[in-house]
Structure 1
Amino acid sequence: MSSLKNILYCQAGFGILANIFLLCVYTFIILGQRLKPMDLISCQLTFVHIMFLLTGGDNWLTDIFDSLSIENDFKCKTIFYTSRVMRGLSICITCLLSIFQAVTISPHTSLLAKFKQKIKIYMIYAFFCIWFFNLLINSHMIFYVGGFTNISETNQMKVTKSCSLFPMSYTIRGLILTVTTSRDVFLVVVMLITNAYMVIILFRHQRQYKHLHSISHLRASPEKRATQTILLLVGFFVVMYWVDFIISSTSLFLWMHDSVILTVQKFVMNAYPTITPLIQISSDKRIISVLKNLQAKIS
């Protein structure tokens, strides 16, 4: 069990460092160049992943609270509420990223083309709606999470060494699961539709212009490279998110806790925010250019 926790801590630490590095690079790019909507979405997603990894269980944030002698109940509510909000924001912003790219590569004759001119304004509105919705929908964590006392007396479900879930009625559990499931299913369906649309656009583009451009040119197309990156991110996200959802839903309905299963669930939850910055760094030529410039200055 200790080895599993060590692996989890190493994963979270690596993911935090990778996301912090990516956020710094994006900030440098945004300050030095013209702001692109895709950069703004990527920055938000990177920030959300940093906060999610920091609040993903018994880790550094818990130790900081302990060192400050902060009340255990407040500590548990803060960590779990923030973690759930960031988890919801992750799927929402990933979906927004997929929608944005679908609009970006859509041909001028499509219905999506009319959104291209005002996409920045729509995106800002979407950010406000996404944050407000997730802050509201996860507010139940403030009431049903607290410091662990005595499981034999209160029937609490211990989820960490110092925090537990308070008993919920089947009605409340069902309502919470229904709302979160509806959100997840809707967003995943939207992502699958936009991904299918992007695949069709890429296929048509390659077939239409194959006689005009070489295969190497098609592979080097910035739009195609960006679209392939988002397709990879969304596909990986969908798999990891639903594996986590199945595990967490089963634990909630059966009201059971197993330390090994919980650790595996955290590993699955942390997989997407850990892998995402690596994919973004390797696929963005601007980031690679910044790294080469830094290496040249150091050498």
Structure 2
Amino acid sequence: MKIETRHIIKGVIFGITTAVGLASNIVIMLALSSIAYKEKKLMPSETILFTLTGANLLLLFSLGLPHSLFAFGVKYFYTDLDCKFDGHFLRSSRVMIIGLTCLLSCFQGVTLASSNPTWAVIKAKMQKYLSLLIAFIIILSTVSSLSSALYPIVSSNSTDLKHSIHLGYCISMYPNAFLFILIGMISFARDVFFVVLMAVASTYILLTLHRHRKQMKGKRSSEKRQENSAEEQAAKMVVTFVIIYVLLFGIENIIWFYQISGSDEGNAALTDTRFYLEFCFSTAFPFVLITFNKKVKCQLSCSLT
């Protein structure tokens, strides 16, 4: 079977991004596991990062990998049930990533504000119930994504694919335009809630860092060096995560709204771009983490020597 040049280019881009994402997230998971083994525990932010790494891997396996292989004619979903499971894992892992990134940004914001007694109490509560918060996000992600398992099928004899999401290897066929838009809008509203919350938390983090920088202005260089504490590096890492995610989320949903408006729903290039943006954060995540997290960077350096 002859493969079109467009599919080869798509396969190479998707494949490289997916392979790099899978390898780097596995490395991060191993590094955090090693830290947990040596220190007998993980810090709250590290626990969130570990869970977030797992969600990244799930998204890359359920979206990036099958999409990359299908571009080269490789298909390993043969039944409707396979597609339903993949569709559910794909959506739920995406919601987990949004929710956990939001939780991470909120926790970091509360940590910076913990000099205030009220916020110190909230921080203590978040640390105490962190496992429950993570479990809630996982359950919410799983339950709220059940609709994604209702409509995927391997293929369709229908020529009308207007109200569908076409992955190539699987197709989500919605019965009508009402359900297609309703489910999409409910998912969008849920995701926007998390995105707005993480953006607010990150704005507070940026304002706090800016205020601290102004306070440090005019002090000796030896004192300035203390500014780059682990807490502030973690804050900068979280803000970077949020900026990347908000940008990708924004572009992805602009494309989605443009398509459901009927302007260009069948444009394969736009659809591929939207799917690609969905897992770009998962590939960028490990590199941002290594850049800002000295403990992980040190663990990786020690493992290589």
Question: Quick check: TM above 0.5?
Answer: yes
Query: Which residue identity lines up with residue 45 of structure 2 in the other structure?
Result: M
**Superposition map of 1:44-63 within 5 A:** 44-56=51-63, 58-59=66-67
Cα offsets for 1:72-92 (capped at 9, x unmatched): 211111111111111111111
Match of 2:245 among 202, 219, 237: 237
Query: How far apart, CA to CA, are the structure 2 residues paired with 1:12 and 1:221?
Result: 33
SS at match of 1:151: coil
Could you give the per-residue CA deviations for residues 165-209 of structure 1, whole angstroms, max 9, x where no partner exists?
Answer: 213333323321332222122212211211121122222223334
Single out whichever of 129-138 and 86-95 deviates more from structure 2.
129-138
Quick check: 1:277 aligned with 2:286? Answer: yes
Structure 2 counterpart of 1:102: 109
The reply on whether 1:11 has 2:17 as its aligned counterpart is yes
Percent identity between the two aligned chains = 22
2: distance between equivalents of 1:221 and 1:195? 18
Contact 1:19 1:46 in 2 (8 A): yes
Cα distance in 2, alignment partners of residues 290 and 198 from structure 1: 27
The equivalent of 1:29 in structure 2 is: 35
Aligned residue identity for 1:248:
W
How far does residue 119 in structure 1 lie from its aligned partner after superposition? 2.0
Q: Is the 8 A contact 2:69 2:75 kept in 1?
A: yes
The residue that corresponds to 1:167 in the other structure is: 174
The whole-number CA distance in structure 2 between the counterparts of 1:85 and 1:61 is 22
- Equivalent pair of 1:219/1:225 in contact (CA under 8 Å): no
Equivalent residue for 1:258?
Answer: 267
2:49 to 30, 42, 53: 42
User: How does 1:1-299 map onto structure 2 within 5 Å?
Assistant: 1=6, 2-33=8-39, 34-56=41-63, 58-59=66-67, 66=76, 71-109=78-116, 111-152=118-159, 157=164, 159-210=166-217, 214=221, 216-252=224-260, 254=262, 256-296=265-305
State the secondary structure of the residue aligned to 2:124. coil
| TM-score relative to the length of structure 2 | 0.86
Q: CA deviation at 1:65?
A: 7.9
Q: Secondary structure at the match of 1:55?
A: helix
User: Does the aligned pair in 1 maintain the 2:202–2:239 contact within 8 Å?
Assistant: yes
**Structure 2 CA distance, aligned partners of 1:154 and 1:208?**
59
RMSD of the TM alignment (CA)? 2.5
Q: 1:172 to 1:184 in 2, by over 3 A?
A: same
**C-alpha offsets along residues 85-108 of structure 1, whole Å, 9 cap, x if unaligned?**
111111111000000101111142
Q: Do 1:5 and 1:263's aligned partners in 2 also have CA atoms closer than 8 Å?
A: no
How far off is 1:23 after superposition?
A: 0.6
Deviations 1:238-290 (A, max 9, x none): 00012112223443453933332222222222211111100101211112222
Residue 24 of structure 2 aligns to which amino acid in structure 1?
A
Q: Please, which runs of 5 or more residues in structure 1 have no aligned partner? A: none
Tell me the TM-score normalised to structure 1 length. Answer: 0.88
Q: Equivalents in 2 of 1:13, 1:223: separation in Å?
A: 31
Aligned equivalents of 2:185, 2:174: Cα separation in 1:
18
Helix, strand or coil: the match of 1:150?
Answer: coil
* Alignment check: 8 A CA contact 2:236 2:292 kept: no
Q: Give, in angstroms, the shift of residue 153 of structure 1.
A: 7.2
Aligned length: 293
8 Å Cα contact 2:48/2:100 also seen in 1: yes
**Is the 1:156–1:164 Cα contact (8 Å) retained in structure 2?**
no
